[in-house]
Structures are given as C-alpha cells and as structure tokens.
Amino acid sequence: MPISIENFLAKNHIPKEAKFLLAFSSGVDSVVLANLFISLKMNVVLAHCNFNLRGNDSFLDENFAKEFAKQNQIPIFIKSFDTKKIQETSKKGIQELARELRYNWFEEIRQKEHFDFIATAHHANDQVETILYKFIKGTGLKGLSGIKSKNGFLIRPFLFFTKENILNYAKENQLEWREDISNQSDKYARNRIRLNIIPELKKINEGLENTLQNQAQLMEWHQEFYENSFQKWFDNLEKKQENIFVPVSEIKESNKIHISTLLHRFGFFQDDIFKIINKEITETGKQIHAENYIFTLDRNVWILSKKQTEFPEIILEKNTQKFKWNNINYSITTIDKPEFFKKDILYFDLDKIQFPIKISSFEEGEKWIPLGMKTSKKISDFLIDNKVSLITKKQVGILKDAKNEIIALLDFRISENVKIDAKTQKIWVIQKEE
C-alpha cells in the first residue's frame, strides 16, 4: 500500500496551511511522518523527548533529532526528563509516566506557540497492541475502540498503515533513522504482546491489523451510541453538594452497564463494581473506596461522593463577621429584632452565648437539646430524622460554646438553651451568603 497522508488530511478537513507540532522520537515511524510533512511543504515543527532511560542511546537519539531538523531546516523543541527520579514520587509505571510527561509537554507547547495540531506516528500495529493490551487488562467499549486517528488537537495520520508500509517507504526513499533496542526486550507488557502474542495471532488471521482496525471503528460507533444513552440516565440521577445518589432500584438488568460505567469513570476497581451490580452488599453504612471517591450504601440509596479531608476547626469570636465551612460562605450579624424569621437562618440570643464558638465535624455519640425539645437527643438520630444521608452527616458543622456545649447544627437548628425569648435584647444571626 503506497503511504500518504493527503487522504487523511482531506478526510478530516485539515488544511495543509495548518501549523503542526510533530512528535519526533528519531525512530523510523516519526522519520517517515516528518519526511512526508516536509515533502508536502507543510508548516511543521519537531518535538523530541529525552527520557534518559537508555544511557548513551538516549543522547544519540537526541543528537539525531537535532541533526535531522538542521538538515531539513525546520525548528525543533528538545526536552530532557529525569524520568527515574520523577518516578520515585509517582505511582505510575515507567512507560505510563513517560507517556504522561510527553503529552503534557506537547500540549504545553501547543498552547504557548499556538499550534493547530499535534501529530504522532502511531500506526496500525500500535492499534493492535493497544486493543489487545486493554482487552487483557480489562476494559469496556471505549477501550476496545482503540486509538483514535483524530482526537481534538491530536492527530495520527498513520493509523491505517502498517509497520511494513512505513518500513517499505523508508527503504524506498533511502531514509535514515535510529533503532530503539528496548523495543526488542520483553521487559514491558506491550513488548511481550508485540513480540510473542501478535505473531501467534497472525498465524490464525494474517490480516489481524485490518480486522482489529475495523473492529475498533465498530466499537467507536457503538461507544458513541452508548454515550448518549448513558448521559440521559446520568442526567436523571439526583445530585446534591457534589454527591451523586443512585437508588438501589436503579441497579437492574437494563442499567447494570450504566452503573459499571459510572463507577469505572470514578476509579473504582472492577471486583468492587461487580459486588455492587450483583447486590452482594446490603449492610447500611458499607463503603467501597476508590482512590479519590467513596460509594456508600445508605438504606435504599448508594451515594457517590468525593473523599473529604478533615474539616479544620473554626473559631468564631463575638466580632467575627464571616467564615467558611464545607466550601460555603457564611455571614454573621447582630440585630435588635428581625422583621420576620426566615428558614435556614440561625437566630441566637446573644446574651446566652459564651464565646469563643468552635465549629467542628460531627462525632458519633454526641448529644444536644434541639430547639423545641426538653430532653437531649443524639445528633445522629436528629440527622436521621431530618433525612440527612451518611455522607452529608460528616459535612454538618457543629457549633460549641466556650463550655463545649452544642448550641447549633449549622444549616439546621439552634439549641433550646440559646433560643430567643421575651427578655432577648440582641440577636446573633448566622446565614449563608447569597
């Protein structure tokens, strides 16, 4: 198959006058892609990453990239990363980390220098490796759709050409390139797939690249159709204070794929997702943890919430005018008498308060005397009576006076001990800011 990028550009409505940043590794794929851009007299600039992972070979690759740019009279960006040192404070594998560093740097250049597109030399064999790798590791429709030939600013003009096509072009045009000897090592999972698994699969299907490329396109169409269905379902879920509420009744045959997608996107492990979908968890208060999120069963509702850091205590003095709790701003005023009492605003008899006031998170077992009651009641019971979820309970601010007695629950009610009566002269008011 003759190799060209003109059809790709036309199909994706990309003008030749656009400004391109080309990822240049010094390997045959990027050399051929750069050669094609140059032969079409397109506005292209190279970007080379040196990850310092292959000793002297890394520097030879960098020097080759510089020399290639010089000979072809095109600009080049060079970035050197101390990848192993960066990995010491990262939980990512070396290949995943290098990929993240590379693309973050490309995007930084694109924005700063106003490039229209970032071009990489991924080809059909890379597509096969990606689909097989994701299938083996576990993935959904999105993963099986593989690498996209155009994804926003990122383009991959070679995705429908094989490695063989690229090598033939390079040899026919007598191009020089650098070989990455690490590609022949089975140290990395992707290399093992390329070196060991794909050759065996090609004994069954010689046209494996074409088959999986077509399969990826089908999966992408299925994914687009599914996304519309998922979004409609997601939009109908109740959402409050960054929490998402999923009734247990929603976990039914027709919605299991939606539940799985929701939890997968928030970082939950597949084993935990199946426990939820199969309704193996029935105990109220049971929690499933992802890295940054929690899925909590609260009676007949699952609550998806972001993990909260401990709220620091807040001290309110008599002259305090503003404070912030759970990312909500509050104002404090002192008045003689309100025109009328408004819901969700706390009104205290100022003379009954002993300052300073401390606001802290709710603790199990704490009791208070809510306004209108004569005996104490557990805060947890009060919040349950007010239909406050297990997640929201932890976000409620508890106001305690200088004697450590609870005088109010922020956003709910004051204590009977600080209520306004006929003798009240000054009223202390706490309300959310508009």
pLDDT digits (tens, 9 = 90+) for 109-126: 999 999 999 999 999 998
> How much is the CA Rg of the chain, to the nearest whole Å?
31
pLDDT of residue 345: 92
- What pTM, to 2 d.p., does this model score? 0.61
Torsion sign over Cα 52, 58, 59, 65: negative
pLDDT digits (tens, 9 = 90+) for 135-182: 888 777 777 788 889 999 999 999 989 999 999 999 999 999 998 776
**Residue 170 amino acid letter:** A
Residue in 68, 107, 98 with CA at minimum distance from that of residue 80: 98
Q: Residue 218 has which token pair?
A: 């089908």
User: Helices 256-265 and 208-235: crossing angle, nearest 10°?
Assistant: 100
Q: Residue 196 has which token pair?
A: 């060991």
Which segment of 95-99, 191-195, 255-259, 389-393 scores lowest on mean pLDDT?
A: 389-393
Task: Tell me which of 28 and 279 has the higher pLDDT.
Answer: 28
Domains of the chain listed by start with CATH number: 6-220 (3.40.50.620), 238-306 (no CATH), 314-432 (3.50.40.10)
34: region left, alpha or beta (phi > 0 left; psi from -120 to 50 alpha): alpha
CA distance 420 to 408: 13
CA distance 320 to 328: 16
pLDDT digits (tens, 9 = 90+) for 195-238: 888 888 989 999 888 898 888 888 888 888 989 999 999 999 99
Q: Residue 180 has which token pair?
A: 């990455």
Q: Are 368 and 377 in contact (CB under 8 A)?
A: yes
pLDDT band at 105 (very low <50, low <70, confident <90, very high): very high
pLDDT digits (tens, 9 = 90+) for 253-267: 888 889 998 998 888
Average pLDDT over residues 185-191: 75
DSSP helix/strand/coil, 3: coil
Question: For residue 346, is pLDDT > 90?
Answer: yes
128 membership: H or E segment, kind and range: helix 124-137
Q: Phi first, then psi: give them for residue 335, nearest 5 degrees.
A: -130, 165
DSSP helix/strand/coil, 9: helix
Please identify which residue in the block is written with the tokens 């003379």. 351
Residue in 121, 122, 34 with CA at minimum distance from that of residue 70: 34
Query: Cα–Cα distances in Å, from 205 out to 135, 151, 211?
Result: 18, 29, 8
DSSP helix/strand/coil, 369: coil
pLDDT of residue 219: 87
Question: CB within 8 A of 375, min separation 6: which ones?
Answer: 369
> Percentage of residues in the chain with pLDDT exceeding 70?
97
Q: Are 411 and 388 in contact (CB under 8 A)?
A: no
Strand partners for 294: 289, 305
